[in-house]
Amino acid sequence: MYENRSSILTEKQYKVLQLVAEGLTNAEIGEKLSISKRTVEGIRAELMVITKTKNTAALISHCFRCGILV
């Protein structure tokens, strides 16, 4: 378990993670956060590296189990 999300994720990474968990597409997330779809893809890739997960389902599951998402 992580001490707190701010120790491992930037604010932008956390916002993207929340929106991924809500089921939004990369394009929808980009539009909502005023960033490009490619930037969202990069942030999602960073999140999977940080959490050592291989896909979106594992990423979201891991983040709920570890208390990053509540």
- pLDDT per residue as tens digits for the range 39-63: 999 999 999 999 999 999 999 999 9
Q: Is the pLDDT of residue 11 over 70?
A: yes
**CATH no. for residue 47?**
1.10.10.10
Residue 50 falls within a domain, yes or no? Answer: yes
Q: Which of 44, 42, 51 is nearest to 24 (CA)?
A: 44
Would residue 70 count as lying in a domain?
Answer: no
Residues of the domain holding 38: 5-65
Position with higher pLDDT, 70 vs 65: 65
58 within some domain: yes
Number of domains in the chain: 1
The pTM of the full predicted model, rounded to 2 decimals, is 0.88
**pLDDT(4) > 90:** no
The tens digit of pLDDT for each residue in 13-43 reads: 999 999 999 999 999 999 999 999 999 999 9
Q: Return the exposure string of 27-40: e unless at least 16 CB atoms fall within 10 Å of the residue's CB, then b.
A: eebbeebebeeebb
Domain assignment present for residue 32? The answer is yes
Backbone angles phi, psi at 29, to 5 degrees: -65, -45
